[in-house]
Structure 1
Amino acid sequence: MDFTTGGRLEVRITPDDVGKRVSVRLLTEDRVPGATFTDVVGVLTSWTEGTLSITRRTGEPVRVAEASLVAGKVVPAAPARRRGPAASAPELDRVAARAWPPVTSEPLGEWTLRASGGFTRRANSVLPLGDPGMGLDEALRRVIEWYAVRELPAYIQVSTGAEGTQELLAAELESRGWIPEVSSRLEIAALAPIGDLDADTSAVTLSRQLDDAWLTRYQRSSGEPSPEARTVLSGGPAVWFATIAAEGGGAPAAIGRCVVDGRWAGFTAVEVAPERRRQGLAKAVMTALARKALDEGASAAYLQVEADNGGAHALYAGMGFTVHHSYHHWRASGEDPR
């Protein structure tokens, strides 16, 4: 990373660059002989009273003392991607929202308020793609009231780490005491290589219908699935459910779900019985669903996985998935999570 002009380190950013992606170099110790440097890259979300706040690609905020800066510059809004289909973060967030549709929704300007009886944060959070049409404090007040009427905590889903994401909104929520609870990654890949995987799909059954047997393997269905869960899982432009039956009956050995939406195939709920893991069942489910999505005209794949799910990241990386951006669910301070 070149910070120099004529061989000198320079700070070439100012408070006017708030909202831009920057790279800074700073001292990690006091300015003494032997001090070391570190670099921070992310979106500059504030610069007040001698402190900079920079949000990394992962959504992690970093506080930087202005006095520690030795170099800094504005950098391109997002790095070029070497693999995977081209897509913007807002496009992907909208496609993913259509694949996991809420039971109830209501616009607030360009924001969408979503509720589904508490079934998953994705279906019970605000999707803030654009301008709410009013000041932020008034918008947040209305959000809290809307969810309170439905006896739900107020969540806002905020994306970070790509062009068009919402680092500035995340910083505003943090300054107002909102709490980030769960971070996830939205990963993308070309679809054809997944359909071409060497996987035995002979035991995979595909259906348009959500049935009770599939739900017995679904980890979010503890006890009798709620009507809201059934509605969300069944919703979407073109939904396919995959099942591998268990030997001797009982809950399926593996399941999966795929929603085809134009060029996109979105994979969710890929789950395998604990005693059947590492036997290729997840790959078989993904491959069978990918082939069906290819038949329906899709060419690109995406999925969403929590940031701390290392096993899933390794599985999907082996299929060609790479991280496009992250998203985080921020909860209003003082509300009980559900």
Structure 2
Amino acid sequence: MEFSSIGRLEVRITAADVGKRVSVRRLGHPGVTQEKFTDTVGVLTSWNNGVLVITRRDGERVRIEESSLVAGKVVPAAPARRRGPSASYQELVRVAARAWRPVESERLGEWELRAAAGFTRRANSVLPLGDPGMPLDEALTVVRRWYHDRGLPAYVQTATGAEGTQELLCAELEERGWVREVTAELWTGALAPVADRAEGAGVVLSREADATWLARYQRKGVSEVALKVLGWGSPRSSEAESGGGPSVWFATVPGAGTGAPAAIGRCVVDGRWAGFAAVEVDPALRRQGLAGAVMAALARQALDEGASAAWLQVETDNVGARALYAGMGFSAHHAYHHYREPQASGAPGH
């Protein structure tokens, strides 16, 4: 029910607003003489037995006692973006999925089951964009069987923090014991400033992840399957040859002598988007502008192919990378999460 409290403040949300983005104010310290308020903004994912659960932009779930509410209202589905290219979650998630193309996939209604022998969760997880065509518990049973048949743990990739993301599905998975293993963010920015940032002297671009590039790549012992995921969209693929797929570029800054490269990077050019990944620098050579040089060289190539916007994925605890990308004009668009089935063992990389 709706009710008023403390002067002009009013709670104007009810259990019927589950699934909507809300802003609420509650008493932060019930029982003390001086009242202190706490504000929470996110998607209302449940309201049962006098307790609200609100999922924040980063995926954190906040439990709030109904009795502590002093104000609440429904707010726009996503805040206005102040900088960077305009893009919907649906557009970005599909572009990102094409950048980490699995070697095997199957449809389950509007869900996509993806597998690539365990190389990166992004190619070994369900992408649940819509209705699976059956009740959720049945769909999850099918998902677990599909991955187990391939010797893999089942993962579901979800997102929070933008219009059309999956806060409700996250809550449903957690109620069923699925465990959130990784939270990262997808950031976007304009491409031209990245290209203008540095000259990129000494950066060599290639269509293939050769042995030299792989010597710096953090995932050692890369398999043939992994190479297919990394290199999908190169001119050798039939889709790219017919103009129907992204193009992939690998950047290398040679190291001293015959050792591993000083720095590497990867870029997938897909229409107006350029996606950056695997930007890695020799630890002894960090803070010398090599990451910026790699991204600048890749950005210029992407501009030449008609791209104008950029995206990348960064984990929430990677402080150095986040500072670098923010300095280039990138900002967070949404958070995404990988949920592992209950009691599964083994974990492919991010």
Instruction: Please tell me the TM-score bracket, short chain as reference.
Output: over 0.9
Give 1:200 deviation, angstroms.
3.4
- Find the residue that maps to 1:8 and give its secondary structure: coil
Report the TM-score when normalising by structure 2: 0.93
Give 1:6 deviation, angstroms.
11
Which residue is 2:300 aligned to? 291
5 Å-filtered alignment, 1:1-338, equals 8-197=8-197, 199-220=198-219, 222=220, 224-236=221-233, 237-338=246-347
Identity percentage of aligned residues: 68
- The one-letter amino acid of 1:10's match is E
Q: Distance in 1 between matches of 2:30 and 2:322?
A: 39
Give 1:31 deviation, angstroms.
4.1
Q: Distance in 2 between matches of 1:79 and 1:6?
A: 28
Q: Distance in 2 between matches of 1:207 and 1:214?
A: 9
- Find the residue that maps to 2:128 and give its secondary structure: coil
Give 1:168 deviation, angstroms.
0.4
- The one-letter amino acid of 2:109's match is G
Once the two structures are superposed, residues 178-237 of structure 1 have per-residue CA deviations (whole angstroms, 9 ceiling, x without a partner) of 10010000000000111111x2312000011221110110001x2x31111111000131
- The one-letter amino acid of 1:270's match is V
- The one-letter amino acid of 1:334's match is Q
Aligned length: 333
Report the TM-score when normalising by structure 1: 0.96
Q: Distance in 2 between matches of 1:7 and 1:51?
A: 23
Q: Distance in 1 between matches of 2:130 and 2:217?
A: 33
- Find the residue that maps to 1:127 and give its secondary structure: strand
Give 1:337 deviation, angstroms.
3.0
Give 1:247 deviation, angstroms.
1.6
Q: Distance in 2 between matches of 1:7 and 1:83?
A: 37
Q: Distance in 1 between matches of 2:254 and 2:32?
A: 66
**Contact kept? 2:232, 2:248, Cα under 8 Å:** yes
Please list every run of 5 or more consecutive structure 1 residues that lacks an aligned counterpart in the other structure: none
- The one-letter amino acid of 2:252's match is T
Give 1:92 deviation, angstroms.
0.4
Which residue is 2:243 aligned to? none
Give 1:30 deviation, angstroms.
2.0
- The one-letter amino acid of 2:218's match is Q
Q: Distance in 2 between matches of 1:6 and 1:334?
A: 47
Once the two structures are superposed, residues 26-48 of structure 1 have per-residue CA deviations (whole angstroms, 9 ceiling, x without a partner) of 11222442131100000000001
Q: Distance in 2 between matches of 1:337 and 1:210?
A: 26
- The one-letter amino acid of 1:300's match is A
- The one-letter amino acid of 1:46's match is S
- Find the residue that maps to 1:289 and give its secondary structure: helix
- The one-letter amino acid of 2:315's match is E
- Find the residue that maps to 1:336 and give its secondary structure: coil
- Find the residue that maps to 2:80 and give its secondary structure: coil
Q: Distance in 2 between matches of 1:240 and 1:20?
A: 40
RMSD across aligned positions (CA)? 1.5
Give 1:90 deviation, angstroms.
1.4
